[in-house]
Amino acid sequence: MEKIFKKIWFFLKELSGENNYQKYIMNNKKCTHMTQKEFYLKQLNKKWNKINRCC
């Protein structure tokens, strides 16, 4: 049961993009990286400059 909840929680975090910052840090260990706030705002601007919600 605990495993299922953990999976659902992981799914929700992935779906909401909450895990993206951690992934970004992991991929950019060596260079200077954005703060979580900068990263969040950049992601939003990128997401909403194209059609990503339908009728």
Partner 1 sequence: MKIFFWIILSIVGALAFSIIALSRNETINAIWFIVASVCIYLIAYRFYAAWIATKALVIDSNQHTPSIKFNDGKDFIPTDKWIVFGHHFAAIAGPGPLVGPTLAAQFGYLPGTIWILVGAVLGGAVQDMSVLFFSVRKNGKSLGQLARDELGTLAGIASQIGTFVIMIILIAVLGLVVVNAMKHSPWATSTVVATIPIAIFIGFYLRNIRPGRVLEATAIGVLLLLLAVYYGGEIDKSTSLRVLFDHDGLSLAFGVIIYGFCAAVLPVWMLLAPRDYLSTFVKLGTVIFLAISIIIIRPEIHMPAVTQFIDGTGPIFGGSLFPFVFITIACGAISGFHALISSGTTPKLITNEKYIPMIGYGGMLLESFVAIMAIVAACILEPGIYFAINSPPGMVGSSAAETIQTINNWGFEVTLEQMNQLAQDVGENSLFARTGGAPSLAVGMATIFAKAFGQNLLAMWYHFAIMFEAVFILTTLDAGTRVGRFMLQDILGNYYKPLGNHSSLFSNIITSSAVVFCWGYFLYIGVIDPNGGVNILWPLFGIANQMLAAIALCVVTAMLIKYRNKLYAMVSAIPLCWLLIITTVAAYEKIFSDDSRVGFLAAARKIQDQISNSTSLIDIDVMQKIAFNLHLNVVIISILVLILWIVVMDVVKLLFQVKVYGKNI
Which spans of this chain sit near partner 1 (rule: CB under 8 A)?
A: 11-18, 20-21, 23-24, 27, 35-37, 39-41, 44-55
CB nearer to partner 1: pick between 4 and 51: 51
**Residue ranges in the chain assigned as alpha helix (H):** 2-16, 20-27, 36-47
The residue among 2 and 37 lying less far from partner 1, judged by its C-beta, is 37
Residue 46 amino acid letter: K
Give the residue from 44, 4, 47 showing the smallest Cα distance to 12.
Answer: 4
- Residue 25 beta carbon to partner 1: minimum distance, rounded to whole angstroms: 11
